[in-house]
Amino acid sequence: MKIGISLSNYGVLPSRSLLKGAALEIERLELDSIWVSDHIIVPKNDTPWNRVFESVTTLGFLASITESIRLGSSILLVPLREPLLLAKQIATLDSLSNGRVMIGVGIGWNKKEFDLLGYNFKDRSKIVVENIDIMRKMWAGEYSKQGYSCEPMPVSKNGPPILIGGQSAGALKRVASIGDGWHPVGISAQEYDLGIQKITQMKKSNFIWSLRINFAANQKIESQYTGADGHPRLRLTGNIDEIISQIQEYQKIGLSHLVCDIKANSKKEYFEQLKTVGEIKKSF
């Protein structure tokens, strides 16, 4: 079981100091990955998404100060980005990080963000499929064959793995048809198991089974909450032994990469939670 951190690049807490310090601590703790979230511009009252360090730029910053840890997006809003430019950015990031990139992608949920940026919210599922196809063609050298130059190519063969976010029927179909893995948020082990079954019924492949989940160890907090998109979600709560037991339930059904999204109200608390994740990692 690989365990990583969904680094808080959104809300009031993050700063250059926190992002740098947390990334170095995550690598020191020998965790497996760092992931960042993505929004571009949202209404002022859409907290905490009204303050977000841009995801691709932030991953470039993190790549420059780390050496070995994997770098991921959770979730990159592909329908809101020009695909050739995004493919170029990711190829550059993968090249400069020596092949450490994983891309979690999603269709997005904030219609106002789509409207303001001039993108079609209704057709976002179709657009994400089209854009990923364009990105993969760039990474595979298809445009080079047509007489164009798009180097440097990613270090990862045919580009970094693309993990599909969401747990709707459409999302599961996208995992099977265009994804290298699955990356939902805050679902139970039972829901994850059912999702794996549905995906593998559609396609047998060596998928990367990943999950991002809220993490709040040793806190008096509910294990269930409502996500920004309005969907119910679970978080890992309790003491270290209780959380290890919860993670083992996911491990039994095939989860291979857990991404902990730490809930903390201060920098001090954030780093305490990081150390707790590091302790838990030793059990896997």
Mean local confidence (pLDDT), 112-116:
96
Above 80 in pLDDT, residue 274? yes
Write the burial class of residue 149 (CB in 10 Å: 0-12 exposed, 13-18 middle, 19+ buried): exposed
Domain limits of the chain? 2-281
Q: Global pTM?
A: 0.96
* CA 6 – CA 4 distance, rounded (Å): 7
35 strand-pairing partners: 6, 72
SS3 sequence, 190-227?
A: HHHHHHHHHHHHHCCCCCEEEEEEEEEECCCCCCEEEC
Residue-wise burial string across 102-132, b where 16 or more C-beta atoms lie within 10 A, e elsewhere: bbbbbbbbbeebbeeeebebeebbebbbebb
Listed residue (104, 103, 112, 108) closest to 124, CA to CA: 108
Q: Which two tokens stand for residue 111?
A: 């219609």
In the chain, count H helices and then E strands: 10, 10
Q: Which pLDDT tens digit goes with each residue over 128-141? A: 999 999 999 999 99
Q: Which two tokens stand for residue 4?
A: 């990583």
Mean local confidence (pLDDT), 203-208:
96
CATH topology of domain 2-281: TIM Barrel (3.20.20)
* CA 261 – CA 140 distance, rounded (Å): 33
* CA 114 – CA 281 distance, rounded (Å): 38
Side-chain half-sphere CA neighbours of 37 within 13 A = 23
Residue 102: DSSP 8-state: E
SS3 144: helix
Q: Which pLDDT tens digit goes with each residue over 129-185? A: 999 999 999 999 999 999 999 999 999 988 999 999 999 999 999 999 999 999 999
List phi, psi (to 5°) of 6: -85, 100
pLDDT at 158: 86
Above 80 in pLDDT, residue 229? no
Above 90 in pLDDT, residue 32? yes
Mean local confidence (pLDDT), 262-266:
93
Q: Sorting pLDDT into bands at 50, 70 and 90, what band is 99?
A: very high
Mean local confidence (pLDDT), 177-194:
97
Above 80 in pLDDT, residue 224? yes
259 strand-pairing partners: 4, 212
Q: Sorting pLDDT into bands at 50, 70 and 90, what band is 34?
A: very high
pLDDT at 226: 87
**122: alpha, beta or left, given left = phi > 0 and alpha = psi -120 to 50?**
alpha
Residue 147 CB partners (closer than 8 Å, separation 6+): none
pLDDT at 3: 98
pLDDT at 230: 79
